[in-house]
Structure 1
Amino acid sequence: MPNTLLQFKPKNQSPPQDQEKNVRNINAFVLIFFVIIIAAVLTYIVPAGEYDRVDKDGRTIVVPDSFHLTDSSPVGFFKIFTSIHTGMIQGAGIIFFVLMVGGSFGILKATGALDALILTISKKLANRELLLIPVLMLFFAAGGTLMGMAEETIIYIAIITPLAIALGFDAMVGFAIVSLGANIGFMSAIMNPFNVGVAQSIAELPTFSGIGLRLALLATFYIAGVLFVYRYAKKVKAQPELRFLGNFQKGNTIASDVKLETRHKWVLTVFLLNFVVLITGVLKFGWYITEIAGLFLLFGILIGIIGKLNPNKMADSFMDGAKEVIGGALIIGFAQAILVVFQDGKLMDSVLYYASSLLSQLSPALNAVGMFFVQLFLNFLVPSGSGQAALTMPIMAPLSDLVGVTRQTAVLAFQLGDGITNSIFPTAGVLIAGLAIAGIPFTKWFKWVLPFIFIEIGISVVFLLIAQAIHYGPF
């Protein structure tokens, strides 16, 4: 495959003096495997317990005050390894979604159309590159806050990351524009049906009520996010040697003589049509990853035909694209194994019970913040917005009544705790898959984004205290 900007798998050509530093960059697979071991050890320490569950409006939710201890169910040595296979099965939907989208982008890349488009855009944006950051982050924040954009970001990462590199930034900037932008919108959740919509339904609040404070929250997060990314982008644009990724991106270049030909324009027109169909399908017909994956495969084949690729070349390009994201796809299954261990050891409900019991001991002023940190931790185990809502809100909603916190504030604590750590926890499958596509090691991203995570936590605490002070409602 020719050496193009879109070869995301990085060629680490760091000088010898940097190799010692690279040793400290723990592979994400190693990190998650150690977490699986720790989770297994906890099944021998933490008492096993369960809540009763009922079906309500098509969702399985826990019954408050139904927690009871059960027989211990420790996870044995061999089950540590079988849990990974089980995790692969449970995460199969998103795993194969990533592979199919990656393969379809492989076909698109083989046509040369995306390279030509990126070069054309980079020339037209000469000396105005930084303006792209607030514009694109606003677009992704809108997608996150209105339609819960999450898995869809994987598609955009494959486009925006190489564009950022072509504009003189690095992969970190491109990935952050998409990932942080969408997540800022997702956790602010003005009208996100997948987190605040589900949580308010369980808490018996009017759908999407309390929108005013969430609008202010979105604006605050957006400004903070843009300033964080803009500041770094401006620095590395002026001094490339300050790039957080160092020499990690050598080889991600594009030939300066690539021209946007007529066939490229047709390919890109069909690719744009793909996004129109995608948005229509998601908003009108409730499409999810199965339909989106099928759509990208269909349009990948159409693009290959228009780009004059023969069937064998299309198949080879599809496999090349899938190879580039195989690491991110596999690690989704590894991360899912952590949840498998907690479920098999019957620890999930125990963790929720002891956390909620601790909250009941706090003063009313601190309860909202305490709920936030509980949700923050639980998101490591349940990185699904609707899944975490179904698990926690049946407990948190009545608990909030008892400790002097409005239910709307409890929902706010949930959406913030659920959202922030989607940008940093290795159990967040979309994050890991996106990093694989962008060619960014998880540990490097973790170090880079950690200061912003603390900023987001600080903003969240302030807004939760405001919500508590104004009795954020209607109730």
Structure 2
Amino acid sequence: MGIQTNGSTDKPKTGFLRFFKIPHTYVILVILTLVACVLTYLVPAGEFDRAKDAHSGKTLVVPTSYHAVEPHPISLLEVPGAIVKGLNDSSDIVFFIFIIGGAFQIITATGTIEAVTGRVARLFAKRAKLVIPAFLAMFSVGGFTMGMSSEVMVFVPLGIAIARSLGYDAVTGTAMVSLGASIGFTAGLMNPFNVGIAQVIAEVPMFSGMWLRAILLLVLFLLTSWYLIRYATREKAKQPEQTDAAASMQAELSQLPKMETKHYLTLLAIAAGFALLIWGVSKKDWWMEELSALFLTMGVVSGACARFGPSKIASEFVKGATAIMFGAFIIGIARSVMIVLDEGNIIDTIVHSLSAVVGELPGSLQVLGMYLFQTVMNVFITSGTGMAATTMPIMVPLADLLGITRQTSVLAFQMGDGFTNMILPTSSALMGSLAVSGISYQKWVKFFWPLMVIWVVIGAVFVIIANVIGY
């Protein structure tokens, strides 16, 4: 659900991947914490004055107030304490993630997602021109609500079977599932695992600014549909007819549950929950406590709609919370990096230095610099939650200094975090889907890199627009 592992699987690798193994995400974050400790001995200590803005109520950096302060280097022996303090300081976000993970697992256990997938597949199975955008649209919803990423690999075989029945190849079947989830995850309309966490750190209303993200999703959907249809049509002309493809598709569809009353009721509960979420955030300034209660209620009601007993609901909740533990702990460990930089009195020095470098650029290039920084960081931290916790505490004050809105800094983060996930060998969402489909990494890169370039350029256009309009 948007919280990705760091590609530390034991699956055999081919080619250069045999010699390229990124450490576990926790190891990377601990290394960053140790590096931060070393920096407290090397980087001059300094800080900005901060003042509460009367209009927005946010505590903002005073741009010209940077000054030197007493150095306070952090010993390596203090690192374990910093990690524990990071978990304590992030407890509200950590428990928010646990509750969402448990609630979404209850919804998943109802079988509604599989039933809806089967319904859409049967509806569009014989409409070759519509099946690709239909699947992209359906899985984008999972991406921008539940943060669906690695979970889509379960549906890849179905996508491939349907694609082959229409004369398309396995790449098309894999892409119309995984790329759908990817564009939804990146646009992140109501994704609590990347946009939600980033907005909490940036101190802007959670899920605010949804209108521009909705436009981003529409643009990504249209461009990706065009690219994939064009690719599929071209590859179809090269392939011989597959006589057993339709039978294979029917076999796949027969394994999916049919839509029943409980599935319709569950969908109604989910729709009502997200409608209430939009109302509460926009009209009542709901924050993590209210949203946690809403997601918890949504999960329990969905379970009741599926005729789950109390014990079944509880066990599925625990299962979901357990599965999300990896990502929840990332937040606390990532927070330890900021604690060391903050207690060492050097985080403002780093921000001041970055602002001096980026500030020399023209206005539009300043926001592109932030976007590029987030894109590069995604190579090392492929977890959206982990990257938000690691980079946003630096990007927020930097945005304040550069006169860039915090909402724009969140937009730069979410696109930098999302666009390259479908090409990085460290992404479990990608590598899991390729493992299920039997497509080589090299073949996928050849297919996907032109689309990724298009996505990245679109992202650059959007951050520039956001900066110009004061998003």
Report TM bin, short chain. Answer: 0.5 to 0.7
Opposite residue 300 of structure 1, the aligned amino acid is G
Name the SS of the counterpart of 1:167 in structure 2: helix
Match of 1:66 in 2: 65
Say whether the 8 Å CA contact 1:115–1:254 is kept in structure 2. no
Deviations 1:407-466 (A, max 9, x none): 8xx99985765554333799xxxxxxx978x9789xx9xx97998776666567678999
Say whether the 8 Å CA contact 2:33–2:337 is kept in structure 1. yes
Match of 1:76 in 2: 75
Q: In the TM superposition, what are the counterparts of 1:340-419 in structure 2 within 5 Å?
A: 340-359=339-358, 366=362, 368-370=364-366, 372-373=368-369, 377=373, 383=388, 391-397=397-403, 417-419=412-414
Say whether the 8 Å CA contact 2:140–2:184 is kept in structure 1. no
Root-mean-square deviation over aligned CA pairs: 5.3
Q: Aligned partners of 2:459, 2:14: CA distance in 1, in Å?
A: 40
Match of 1:129 in 2: 131
Deviation of the 1:83 alpha carbon:
1.8
Opposite residue 418 of structure 2, the aligned amino acid is S
Name the SS of the counterpart of 1:61 in structure 2: strand
Return the match for 1:154 from 146, 151, 165.
146
Name the SS of the counterpart of 1:54 in structure 2: strand
**Alpha-carbon spacing, 1:125–1:62, altered in 2? closer, same or farther (3 Å):** same
Match of 1:307 in 2: 306
Return the match for 1:24 from 21, 24, 29.
21
Return the match for 1:167 from 128, 137, 159.
159
Opposite residue 146 of structure 2, the aligned amino acid is I
Match of 2:89 in 1: 90
**Alpha-carbon spacing, 1:460–1:112, altered in 2? closer, same or farther (3 Å):** closer
**Alpha-carbon spacing, 1:56–1:389, altered in 2? closer, same or farther (3 Å):** farther
Using the size of structure 1 for normalisation, the TM-score is: 0.64
Match of 2:289 in 1: 290
Using the size of structure 2 for normalisation, the TM-score is: 0.65
**Alpha-carbon spacing, 1:224–1:353, altered in 2? closer, same or farther (3 Å):** farther
Deviations 1:72-108 (A, max 9, x none): 1112112222222222223223322221111112222
**Alpha-carbon spacing, 1:30–1:424, altered in 2? closer, same or farther (3 Å):** farther
Deviations 1:98-138 (A, max 9, x none): 21111112222333333322222222232433113664699
Match of 2:170 in 1: none
Q: Aligned partners of 2:309, 2:406: CA distance in 1, in Å?
A: 53
Say whether the 8 Å CA contact 2:141–2:181 is kept in structure 1. no
Match of 1:429 in 2: none
Deviation of the 1:277 alpha carbon:
1.8
Q: Does 1:45 find its partner at 2:42?
A: yes
Q: Aligned partners of 1:11, 1:67: CA distance in 2, in Å?
A: 41
Deviation of the 1:306 alpha carbon:
2.8
**Alpha-carbon spacing, 1:175–1:459, altered in 2? closer, same or farther (3 Å):** closer
Return the match for 2:418 from 423, 428, 442.
423
**Alpha-carbon spacing, 1:137–1:373, altered in 2? closer, same or farther (3 Å):** farther
Q: Aligned partners of 1:224, 1:377: CA distance in 2, in Å?
A: 25
Return the match for 1:178 from 176, 184, 202.
184
Say whether the 8 Å CA contact 2:141–2:184 is kept in structure 1. no
Q: Aligned partners of 2:85, 2:203: CA distance in 1, in Å?
A: 30
Match of 1:276 in 2: 275
**Alpha-carbon spacing, 1:452–1:314, altered in 2? closer, same or farther (3 Å):** same
Opposite residue 421 of structure 1, the aligned amino acid is G
Name the SS of the counterpart of 2:332 in structure 1: helix
Say whether the 8 Å CA contact 1:195–1:389 is kept in structure 2. no
Deviation of the 1:318 alpha carbon:
1.0
Q: Aligned partners of 1:455, 1:355: CA distance in 2, in Å?
A: 28
Q: Aligned partners of 2:269, 2:407: CA distance in 1, in Å?
A: 40
Q: Does 1:35 find its partner at 2:17?
A: no
Match of 1:250 in 2: none
Deviations 1:229-255 (A, max 9, x none): 77899999999xxxxxxxxxxxxx997
Q: In the TM superposition, what are the counterparts of 1:191-340 in structure 2 within 5 Å?
A: 256=255, 258-340=257-339
Say whether the 8 Å CA contact 1:181–1:225 is kept in structure 2. no
- The farther-off stretch of 106-115 and 328-337 is 106-115
Q: Aligned partners of 2:319, 2:233: CA distance in 1, in Å?
A: 33
Opposite residue 129 of structure 1, the aligned amino acid is V
**Alpha-carbon spacing, 1:68–1:464, altered in 2? closer, same or farther (3 Å):** same
Q: Aligned partners of 1:325, 1:371: CA distance in 2, in Å?
A: 32
Deviation of the 1:33 alpha carbon:
1.9
Say whether the 8 Å CA contact 1:372–1:414 is kept in structure 2. no
Deviations 1:247-277 (A, max 9, x none): xxxxxx9971522222332233222222222
Q: Aligned partners of 1:393, 1:375: CA distance in 2, in Å?
A: 11
Name the SS of the counterpart of 1:64 in structure 2: coil
Name the SS of the counterpart of 1:309 in structure 2: coil
Q: Aligned partners of 1:235, 1:292: CA distance in 2, in Å?
A: 46
> What is the total number of aligned residue pairs between the two structures?
401
Q: Aligned partners of 2:117, 2:392: CA distance in 1, in Å?
A: 36
**Alpha-carbon spacing, 1:12–1:122, altered in 2? closer, same or farther (3 Å):** farther
Q: In the TM superposition, what are the counterparts of 1:96-111 in structure 2 within 5 Å?
A: 96-111=95-110
Deviations 1:196-249 (A, max 9, x none): 997xxxxxxxxx9xx99x99999877766666777899999999xxxxxxxxxx
Say whether the 8 Å CA contact 1:61–1:390 is kept in structure 2. no
Match of 2:438 in 1: none
**Alpha-carbon spacing, 1:172–1:73, altered in 2? closer, same or farther (3 Å):** farther
